[in-house]
Amino acid sequence: MMKTGKLLLIFVLLCTTIGCDDIIYLEDVEIPLVLGLDVDPNDPDQLIYYSSAPVFSKDAQKKYTVRKITAHSLEVAKNKIGGMSTGFLVGGKLQVILISKKLLQHKNVFPYLDVLYRSPKNETKALVAMVDGSIEEIMNADMKDKGILGVVIHDIIQTSFDQGITVCTRLLDFFHQMIDKRITPNLTELKMEDGEITVYGTALLNKEAKYSSSLNILESTLLLILRKETANQLPLSFSIPQDHQKNAEINLAVNHINYDIQSDYRDHRFQFTMNMALNADISERLFPYEIKSKQDQLERILTSQLDQEFNQIIHKIQAKQLDPMGLGVYAQAFQYPHWQKVKTHWGKELSKATIKVKPHIVIRDFGITF
């Protein structure tokens, strides 16, 4: 023990003399929660980077700072921001990454995010979202009654995903969608409307990480169903033609879906058949209906309407040569020899494929009134 004690003493002395360079006191760091990427209208080679970090000082008026930097890459931007911030800049708590639609239309944005995947200190659970409009508008949005910008946007996207109206793409999911050949990337789409940050649906990107198409809130739900992301209750909205009124709305909440997905390869093209039985509850009905006696009829009407909607969205996706549903997974798993040949241009191949979605709605619950 005495020997150990001496050893430890020598050791502690050694350490204190050398010192450790990794010490950063929490109050001395600037922790960006939001990172924004936008095009620079003046110089096409440059990007404009925004970052927003909470301010710990109680004397400060605003709870967070917003910084704007023009630079070639994120690493350069980081160094530049480091020059003007009050503390070291570290990315360990990143909550949201916002990318403007313009940038996504012009550039492959994936390489610009490289630094976030490379350093182990960075947070890869940050949510990635596309902004239709300018980033600056969102960064300078009025948050007086809401809180810290990064937390607010993160919560908005997370809540929207939980309600089933958009996808939830984290940084590591984005990496997965870019690298995995069986799927194409898709991001949450945000928009500033009347000074409020609003979820607008889902942005579909192609394999070059360029913007290709958008899905609105209703279509996003269908995409989630197609992707089997059914952990949360998903809302479905139908408008049924009626005698007196033109359109009568009925809203369903889908609780559980049983899938049966078949894949095949015939006539030089892939064939997918997705049978799904949707167990749904009625959450709202805006017209009178004899549900006690005519439940089967209602289910038939709803099923056929859902069938149509699915066909529309699949048509839309196929037209853009995308695969946000990840049907490539089935192609690889069950049609491996054919998949091997087409895996480099899967989106294009899928656009030729026959995709049949056969939903079947079963209403289980009406709430406490019929």
Partner 1 sequence: MKHSTPHEEHIIHNELAKNLDQLKQLFYYAPDFQFKEITTKSGDKALLVYLEHIVDKVAINEHILKPLMYAVESIDEMHIPIFKTENALQIEEVEKSLYAGKSVLFVEGKTFATIFDTQGWPQRAIKEPQTESTLKGAHQGFVETAGQNIAIVRRYLPHRELTVKSYEVGLRGKTKVFMLFLKDVVNPEIVAEMEDRIQQVKTDAIINAGQLVEYIEDHPNSLFPQLLQTERPDALVANLLQGRFAIIVDLSPYAIVGPMTLTSFFQSVDDYSTRWVIASFARLLRFFAFFITITLPSFYIAAITFHYEILPLDLLISIGVSREKVPFPPIIEAIVMEISLEMIREAGVRLPAPIGQTIGVVGGIVIGQAAVQAGVVSNIMVIVVAITAISSFIIPNLDVSLGARLIRFPMMLIATIYGLVGIAVGLMIVFANIINMESLGEPYGSPFSPIKFIDWKDTWVRFPLWKMDQRPTSTNSVQTMRQRTSRKGRDR
Partner 2 sequence: MSKYTTNQLTLSQFVIFIYKTQIGVGVLTLPRLVSENANRDGWISVILGIAISLTVSILIIKIMEKHPEMTLYDILPLYFGKWLGRFFIFIWIAWTLAASTTAFLATIFITQMWLLPKSSSILIGALFLVPIYLTAKEGVRNISSFFQFVFLSTIWMEFTLLYSGGGSQILNFLPIGADGITPIIKGALVFLPSCFGFEIALFLYPFLKNKKQAIKGVLIAHALTFNISFMLIVLCFLKYSQEEIQLFVFPTLNLLKEIQLPFIERLEIPFLAIYLMVMLSTAISYLYISLFGMAQFTQKRSHIPFLWIAMVFWLIILFSVNFSFRHLQQVERIWQKNIVFIPLVFPILLLIYIKIHHFVQQRRHTP
Footprint on this chain of partner 1 (rule: CB under 8 A): 1-2, 4-5, 8, 12, 15-16, 19-20, 22-27, 29, 31, 33, 54, 56-58, 92-93, 95, 121, 123, 148, 151
Work out how close the CB of 155 gets to partner 1 at its nearest, in angstroms, rounded to a whole number.
11
Least distance to partner 2 from the beta carbon of 304, Å? 30
Among partner 1, partner 2, none, the one that 185 touches (CB under a kind-dependent 5 to 8 A) is none
Selection from partner 2, partner 1, none that 207 binds (CB < 5 to 8 A by kind) is none
* 281 contributes a contact to partner 2 by CB under 8 A: no
Question: Phi first, then psi: what are they for 365, rounded to 5°?
Answer: -140, 145
What does 285 interact with, of partner 1, partner 2, none (CB < 5 to 8 A by kind)? none
Sorted by sequence, the CB contacts under 8 Å of residue 85 that are 6+ apart come out as: 30, 53, 65, 67
The Cα 128–Cα 117 span in angstroms is: 13
The CA-based dihedral angle spanning residues 39, 45, 48, 49, taken in that order and rounded to the nearest 10 degrees: 120
Q: Label residue 133 left, alpha or beta by phi (over 0 means left) and psi (-120 to 50 means alpha).
A: left
User: What minimum distance in Å lies between the beta carbon of 12 and partner 2?
Assistant: 10
Cα dist. 352→54, 180, 310, 312 in Å? 49, 20, 17, 15
Burial class (CB in 10 A: 0-12, 13-18, 19+), 96: buried
Of the candidates 247, 309, 249, which has an alpha carbon nearest to the alpha carbon of residue 278? 309
List the interface residues with partner 2, window 221-260 (CB under 8 A): none
Contact positions with partner 2 (CB under 8 A) in 147-186: 172, 175-176, 179-182
Query: What is the pattern of x (binds partner 2, CB under 8 A) and - over residues 78-117?
Result: --------------x-------------------------
Would you count residue 352 as binding partner 2 (CB under 8 A)? no
Question: What is the bridge-based pairing of β-strands 234-241 and 247-266?
Answer: antiparallel
Smallest distance from partner 1 to CB 315, Å:
41
Cβ nearer to partner 1, comparing 89 with 183: 89
